Amino acid sequence: MKVILVGAAGRMGRAVARAFDEAGIGLAASVDILPANLGCNHYSRLNDVKEGADAVVDFSRPSLTEELCRFALDRRAALIIATTGQSEGQKRTIEEASAHIPVFFCSNMSFGVSLFASLAGQVAAAFPYADVEIVEAHRGGKEDAPSGTALMLANTIRDVRGGGRIVCGDRSGGRRAGDIGISSLRFGEGAGVHEVIFDTGFQRVALRHEAFGPELFARGTVNALRFIEGKEAGLYQVNDILDLKRNAPLKCT
């Protein structure tokens, strides 16, 4: 399999390139404003890439969403989007592209986070009237807040409850009954921590997931590539790889 890696010079891009090398996945080209020096042809603009590839993997920024989708459609290549913070219009562009090519779009490439979200849904079902607060902490340089993962967790809980207001960091006037709160912290160089707290007034249940480094998400990207290879057009995510009924990953690392 040959891959075009977008956002190749960043922290995640370099980790993904190392994971690809270990997994025997070849780089057809790399794309980034900064040089990546990954042993393949490098471009500062995606549309300048001349090489063909089986898949395009994106770890850049959401502003490139439309360009990525057009590029992958033109090349008939599978597309993996691992960035977060897309607008509703950009998400619609991704969905439209998935009608013609396989697209793997997930706010968090960690399989542990998908299992974590499944557990949060189970607790939400058991305690439908509990106060819920999601606390997420990321490195100081992360631009989007709340994180895509925090929003995924909040939406999972809201879906189980059949509704509810998602409140992001608004402390004026406190929380209303049924609110799903999200508090975001940005500091240091940590890879990411998410905690979901359910408080019934009589007891408290807390679930926590902590990522120790970018290698976790790089391994998830390798698994996503292996999964999407040869797939028909469609929109895929980590839950499509995991068998959550058995609560067991399928050949994942």
Band of pLDDT at residue 105, cut at 50, 70 and 90: very high
pLDDT per residue over 158-208, tens digit each? 999 999 999 998 766 678 889 999 999 999 887 789 999 999 999 999 999
- Give the three-state DSSP class for 167: strand
Beta-sheet strands, E only, within 124-212 = 131-138, 166-168, 180-186, 192-199, 204-211
Where residue 163 sits, what CATH number does that domain have?
A: 3.30.360.10
CA distances, 81 to each of 57, 59, 121, 188 (Å): 6, 7, 24, 25
Judge whether 223 and 242 are in contact, CB under 8 Å: no
pLDDT per residue over 85-97, tens digit each? 889 999 999 999 9
Assess whether pLDDT exceeds 70 at residue 251: no
Distance CA 121, CA 117 (A): 6
Comparison of pLDDT for 4 and 11, the residue scoring more: 4
Domain span at residue 65? 2-105+214-241
Q: Residue 214's pLDDT is what?
A: 79
Assess whether pLDDT exceeds 50 at residue 246: no
Provide the terminal-to-terminal Cα distance of the chain, rounded to the nearest Å. Answer: 18
Find the helix or strand (DSSP H, E) in which 235 lies.
Answer: strand 234-236
Mean pLDDT of 137-166: 90
Q: Are residues 204 and 222 in the same domain?
A: no
Query: How many C-beta atoms surround the C-beta of residue 131 within 10 A?
Result: 17
Mean pLDDT of 225-253: 71
Report how many domains make up the chain.
2
Find the helix or strand (DSSP H, E) in which 15 lies.
Answer: helix 11-23
Distance CA 67, CA 45 (A): 10
Mean pLDDT of 111-139: 92
pLDDT per residue over 27-75, tens digit each? 999 999 999 999 999 999 999 999 999 999 999 999 999 999 999 999 9
Q: Are residues 73 and 88 in the same domain?
A: yes
Q: Residue 49's pLDDT is what?
A: 97
Q: Are residues 20 and 78 in the same domain?
A: yes
Q: Residue 83's pLDDT is what?
A: 87
Whether pTM > 0.85 for this model: the answer is no
Assess whether pLDDT exceeds 60 at residue 244: no
Pull the structure tokens for residue 63: 């502003």
- Whose tokens are 């929003």? That residue is 151
Where residue 55 sits, what CATH number does that domain have?
A: 3.40.50.720
In a domain, 232, yes or no: yes
Judge whether 120 and 130 are in contact, CB under 8 Å: no
Q: Are residues 95 and 9 in the same domain?
A: yes
Give catalytic status of residue 142 as yes or no: yes
Distance CA 82, CA 97 (A): 15
Of 51, 55, 56, 48, residue with least CA distance to 40: 51
Active-site choice (42, 138, 194, 209)? 138
Q: Residue 199's pLDDT is what?
A: 97
Find the helix or strand (DSSP H, E) in which 234 lies.
Answer: strand 234-236
In a domain, 117, yes or no: yes
Active-site choice (142, 194, 245, 251)? 142
Instruction: Provide φ and ψ at 13, rounded to 5°.
Output: -60, -45
In a domain, 235, yes or no: yes
CA distances, 64 to each of 151, 161, 228 (Å): 21, 34, 21
Q: Residue 175's pLDDT is what?
A: 84
Distance CA 112, CA 128 (A): 24
Q: Residue 245's pLDDT is what?
A: 44
Beta-sheet strands, E only, within 13-109 = 26-31, 42-43, 55-58, 78-81, 102-105
pLDDT per residue over 11-40, tens digit each? 889 999 999 999 999 999 999 999 999 999
Q: Are residues 63 and 44 in the same domain?
A: yes
Cis peptide before 146 (omega within 30 of 0): yes
